[in-house]
Every structure is written in C-alpha cells, then in structure tokens.
Amino acid sequence: MDEWGAYKSLQAAVDAARDGQTISVGAGKWEECVVVEGKRIVIAGVAGAEIHGSDSGPALTVRGAFGAVVRGLTLRNASEKQPALPGLEWLNVPSSQRYLVKYNQECNFVQAIEGDIDSSHIGFLHQSTLRLQTSDIGVRVYQLRDKAPRWIVDPTNYGLMLAARRNAEEDSYYWRINHFYFPWYTTIAGSLGSTRGHGHIWVPVDDTHTEVWCVTWSTDEPMGEDEKYRILSGPAPHIASLDPATGKLRAAKANHFLQDREAQRNFSFAGILGTREQDTAVVEGMGAIVDRTNEHLGTSDMAIIGMRRQLLNGAKALLRGQEPAAPYQPELYRVRSWSAVLPRSEQFLDNPQVQQLMQNLV
C-alpha cells in the first residue's frame, strides 16, 4: 500500500487504509473474502492479481464506500455464486456474425441508458429526410405521424420489457419493443422482420464516465465489410465521429456536437450526424449528473421511470440480503427486441404472436 509497506492479507491493508490511499495488489491468487466498508480508497491490481472468495462470502464486498475504486483485479467467487454469461442473443452467434464498437461517454451510466430505452424521442430527434429514403419508409411514417406512443412497461426478473405502441393503419398498430437487462445491457428494436439485432453495454467507469459498447449482430449469416462500414460511415451512420486515438466521439459539448445548422434547416431535426451523437448531445448536454429532484416526468417517460425503479428496488433488496435472480439464470436473457405491425387488439402480453416474437432466433 502506498507509503505504508507490505501486508500479509488484503483485508489487513484495507483495514489500515485511510481515505484517498491506494492499495496495490501483487500478482497471484489471494484466497480471502475482502470487505471494504465506508472508505474512499483505490484497490489496484497488477496483471495476474486474483481474489478468490469462498463459501463463507464473495471475493469482495463494498458497503457505504461511495467513491471507492477497484480496478485491475479478477474476482472469483465460490462456484455456486459464480454468475454464468447471460443468454443474450449476440453472445450465441459466431464472431463473424457480430460487430462491436466501443467509445467513452461523459455522463453517469443510468443517464446514458435513458436514450436507449426511450422510444418517444425517435419520432423527432433521429428523423431526417435522408432516413425517409429507405426501404423501411412505412415505419418512418408511423414514427413521424404518431409522436406520442402508448407504453406498456413490464418489470421482469431480467429487468424491463418496454413496448411502445403507435397507430399504423386503421386496423393495425406499430409496435416497437426494447429491453433493459440487469445490470447494464439494452437491446433495441430493428426494422420490420429484421434478422439483424442491435444493442449496447453501458459499463460505469465512475460517476461521470461510461464505457459504451455498441453491438450489431446477424442471426443467420456473416456480416459483410460493407455492413460494418455503414455503422461508422455513410449518410446515416450509427456512430459518425468516433476518434480511435482517444476512444471518444469527436462530436462533444465543447464543439456543440458538430451541429450543422444548414442541415437542421433543410433536412435534419437535430442537425447532428450519427444516431449515437444525437443521443449523446441530449444525455451529455444536460450535465454529467443531473439533480433529478427538479424533474417533472410524464407519461412519455414511463420507460425511464421503470428502469430507475427496478435499479432502486434491486439495490434495496440487496441491502436486505436478497440477491437478484438474473445472474444465476442466464436463460432469463433469452428475449429479443423487435418491431412489427399487428392487428389492433387490447391484448398484448398474452398474445401468442407477441410471445413468439420475443424469443431469440438463435
């Protein structure tokens, strides 16, 4: 530990540490159940440093230590407490059928996720006349025509099922279904009948920075280089300004997210190129941490309200000693996002067609 010397156990070093100090963990396997309680310290491991828990407790427990940082460590718990990989669809396809891009976002991770789970804003923020020149023009028209979707927010063991309903034709609704999965995964509805999936992983670095992985995958064939190219380039890219040197978007608050007023006047609502850049302008533009006591949420914010409640309820349950089910039941994650035009009906969650659309394709 910095300025202190060596300790025979990690717990002894933690107990002796003061706020602001760093504990350096050497390479090797440390078999103990470490508890950090009420201390703002940094525990930093070198390559090969592992903490192995036991049947008596997890490898690392942090309580009431707001600002504590743990990095560079592999944590291994007893086998019955070792979570399995979630059954997300993109984890079950070959590497040739998925493509991941990572960047850093300057806001807290819950705020970052809000742009993904909300379907209300797609009727204006992401719209442009360029997008209307696509084969999915019917969907774009539904989104433009009905900017106030009706929500069904269903809390689940894996997180949330989020269904946004828009008027389509006189006898049909356009449904767009997204999912939020504990603790930080999302999947987003694609085009009608699409075998392509899209989602994100939102990993908090600290209170004001989030590492974002954008995942695109195919359920039935390898992804071509041209398809990968269109994610980062072209007239309507998902990410338009990624800087490989910094891992951040070039479009930032300091340069007004590269907003083009001429484009905004003529064909683009936001005047910002890139879907990620448009969402980032909103979630970063409000500040890295926002005082939510000043909010006045409405019916269009039901998805955001639902996510916050699930996270808060899960944190409170964990304080009572009740662990979430999802880490130990990977099959709970085997639900996919989708969009469809279905006959008008008040029945949704119990609709057999809906249940079939929810199931992973692989």
Which of 34, 53, 81 is a domain's end point?
A: 81
Residue 212's φ and ψ, nearest 5 degrees, are -115, 125
DSSP letter for each residue of 243-271: ETTTTEES--GGGGGG--HHHHHHTBSS-
Within a domain: residue 1?
no
Within a domain: residue 326?
yes
Within a domain: residue 265?
yes
Examine the domain organization and report whether 221 and 242 are in the same domain: yes
Examine the domain organization and report whether 56 and 182 are in the same domain: no
Round to whole Å and give the CA distance between 340 and 353: 10
Examine the domain organization and report whether 201 and 132 are in the same domain: yes
Examine the domain organization and report whether 136 and 210 are in the same domain: yes
**By the 8 A CB rule, do 324 and 317 touch?**
yes
Which of 52, 81, 110 is a domain's end point?
A: 81
Round to whole Å and give the CA distance between 158 and 331: 9
Find, among 180, 152, 213, the residue nearest to 342 by Cα. Answer: 152
Domain extent for 283:
89-358
Examine the domain organization and report whether 195 and 244 are in the same domain: yes
Within a domain: residue 236?
yes
Which of 61, 81, 101 is a domain's end point?
A: 81
Within a domain: residue 3?
no
The domain tally of the chain equals 2
pLDDT 10s digits, 323-358: 888 988 999 999 999 999 999 987 898 889 999 999
Examine the domain organization and report whether 66 and 113 are in the same domain: no
Q: How far from 153 is each of 93, 177, 309, 332, CA to CA, in Å?
A: 28, 10, 11, 17
Examine the domain organization and report whether 77 and 123 are in the same domain: no
Within a domain: residue 2?
no
Examine the domain organization and report whether 101 and 245 are in the same domain: yes
Examine the domain organization and report whether 209 and 101 are in the same domain: yes
Within a domain: residue 281?
yes
Within a domain: residue 270?
yes
Find, among 54, 6, 64, the residue nearest to 34 by Cα. Answer: 54
* Both tokens assigned to 35: 């508890």
Examine the domain organization and report whether 77 and 94 are in the same domain: no
Examine the domain organization and report whether 214 and 239 are in the same domain: yes
Examine the domain organization and report whether 240 and 114 are in the same domain: yes
Q: For every one of its 362 residues, what pLDDT tens digit does the chain have, with 9 covering 90 and above?
A: 444 467 888 999 999 999 999 999 988 888 999 999 888 899 999 888 899 888 778 888 887 766 788 888 888 876 566 677 899 999 999 989 999 999 999 999 999 999 899 988 888 898 875 555 454 566 778 888 888 999 999 999 999 999 999 999 999 999 999 999 999 999 999 877 778 899 999 999 999 999 999 999 999 999 999 999 999 998 889 999 999 999 999 999 999 999 999 999 998 999 999 999 999 999 999 999 998 888 999 888 999 999 999 999 999 999 998 988 898 899 999 999 999 999 998 789 888 999 999 998 88
Q: Write the CATH number for 102.
A: 3.90.380.10
